Amino acid sequence: MIHATLLHVPIVNLMRKFTKERNLHRPVVTRFTTSFITLVQIQPKEYGDFCRVGKGKVVQQRSDYKKKVKTYFMQDSFWRNVLYALKLTDPLIKVLRLVDGEKYPTMGYIYEAMDRSKEVIHDSFSNADDYKTTFQITNQRWECQVHKPLHAAGHFLNMWIFYKDTIGVACEEVEQWLYDCTMRLLDNYRNAEGLSGHPMAIRHRKTKAPADWWASYGSSTPNLKKFFIRVLSLTCSVTSCKRNRSVFQHLHTKKRNRLAQSRLNDMAFVKFNSALDR
């Protein structure tokens, strides 16, 4: 459908007129989120007028394939399915983007982000059967890959999340896993005593990365400071979800400078040996 649209300049120009100059992404086999991103781009709100106005132009195409594309665009059931898919996948895609981002380490955010995405999906439907299967798949992945003590510890130690909802964060499961990691010295953090309660530290709870915040304001609890920084400096990745298994392509992302050849070789060596250990 996207391919048929992009082949014809008049249709592309008409599409951009009704979508505020938005472009369509071409589907790529190695990018597992491409299909969902494409759905976001053709959501009914902006493409409804485009389809109605462009109906005559699409009909002019003699190819049976292009006529079939036109038929899909004109069906209300197609747009209902697009909207349904967006309600299920858009919150999860946002979590994947957060996890795979390079702005700051995401260990302190993944737990909260996953809970929030499930709440958004739940609130988007009036019938639990509409998202039951999706939740089963999501929970299965969550339990085997992300539902770990370190993620719970990062969630508890993220000062922006903790002080925003102390009661919600300090649930039995999270605290139990945190105690498994720390076992002691939480009173100062819980009560925001010492430097952690300083006005500047409070202002920086949301703006600073969690690890940087602890490096700046964690001196009142030196025994915890080192541990917290190590936990909150851990990074996450969605590499296991991707079909592109090339280590060298993963090391050379668009947001990193090109690595020196010797350093690249060392990183590839560590990566492959880590895989062998597993």
pLDDT digits (tens, 9 = 90+) for 120-133: 998 888 888 888 88
What is the pLDDT at residue 59?
46
pTM for this entry: 0.54
In the predicted model, is pLDDT for residue 199 greater than 70?
A: yes
Rounded to 10 deg, the angle between the 110-124 and 76-99 helix axes is 170
What is the pLDDT at residue 211?
86
pLDDT digits (tens, 9 = 90+) for 54-110: 554 544 555 666 666 667 766 778 778 888 888 888 888 888 888 777 777 777 888
In the predicted model, is pLDDT for residue 156 greater than 70?
A: yes
Q: What share of the chain is helix, strand, coil (3-state, %, to 5)?
A: 70, 0, 30
In the predicted model, is pLDDT for residue 29 greater than 50?
A: no
Count other Cβ atoms within 10 Å, centred on residue 41: 15
In the predicted model, is pLDDT for residue 174 greater than 50?
A: yes
What is the pLDDT at residue 28?
52
In the predicted model, is pLDDT for residue 267 greater than 70?
A: yes
